[in-house]
Amino acid sequence: MGIRESVEKLEGIHNIESVMSALKIKRSTAIKYISILRKNGYVKTKQTNKKKRVYYISRSNKICGKSYYDIINNYSPIKLSESEIYKIYGREPSLEETLIYAIKTKNLRVILAALSLFKYINNWSLLFDLAKKNQAERKVGVLYDLSRKLMRTRRMNKKFRKNSLPKEYDNYLYIVDGLKSKDLNEIEEIWKVYLPFNSSDLGEYKIKK
């Protein structure tokens, strides 16, 4: 069955079981179909309060712009649900821009999900420029060091690290106002930035081996 025919049959809201029923296929095949349609821009994934995935399948998804949440969901094991969809038309935001957006939200789950972006970021010059513009260099640094504890990431550019580390006279910063970590203090001390997470908050990531 072709992509266009699949989209026509599946237009609407689905879970894995309803995709299996609509196309009369096995679960493993349904997962492959959803993956193919997502890569082609027809699927948007949401997560219910019970942490079950729901798929919004539509031809209109293909012609619409992408949101920062779309990009994070594409790279992260933690899926975000958008209460207010902000689409960007005419271009696809870079991973570096998306990471800065996530930090600026001051939303715990958005920032946590965005940690996965560090696995794929390679334009450290762009990230530094964006971070500097938003006064977020040290916030990027502390979140990068946290991500290194959770997954294999691309190595941070030495110039970025050198230019972002705090000076002796710098005060501590908050990523989320008033929130400090109880057990990630070593990383906080390096960057003089308070992390809004504890180790127990990171369970949705698989610790790297």
List the CATH number of the domain containing 35: 1.10.10.10
pLDDT at 208: 45
Last residue of a domain, one of 64, 87, 116: 64
- pLDDT of 63 reads 58
Residues 152 and 171 in one domain: yes
**Could you read off the pLDDT of 59-95 as tens digits, one per residue?**
767 656 678 888 998 899 888 876 555 666 656 789 9
Q: Are residues 60 and 79 in the same domain?
A: no
Rounded to the nearest 10°, the torsion over CA 18, 20, 21, 24 is 160
Q: Is residue 20 domain-shared with residue 104, that is, in the same domain?
A: no
pLDDT at 209: 38
**Is residue 74 domain-shared with residue 165, that is, in the same domain?**
yes
pLDDT at 207: 47
Is residue 101 located within the same domain as residue 200? yes
What pTM was estimated for this model as a whole?
0.69
Q: What letter does residue 166 receive in the DSSP assignment? A: P
Pick out the chain residues at pLDDT < 50. 207-209
Which pLDDT value is given to residue 126? 96
Q: In the chain, what's the furthest Cα-to-Cα distance?
A: 65
* Whether residue 97 is found in the same domain as residue 184: yes
Q: Which of 64, 83, 110 is the last residue of a domain?
A: 64
Domain that holds residue 161: 66-209
pLDDT at residue number 90: 59
Check whether residue 55 and residue 2 sit in a common domain: yes
The answer on 204 and 118 residing in a single domain is: yes
Domain boundary among 64, 85, 114: 64
Q: Do 5 and 31 share a domain, yes or no?
A: yes
The structural domain count of the chain equals: 2
d(CA 35, CA 192): 41
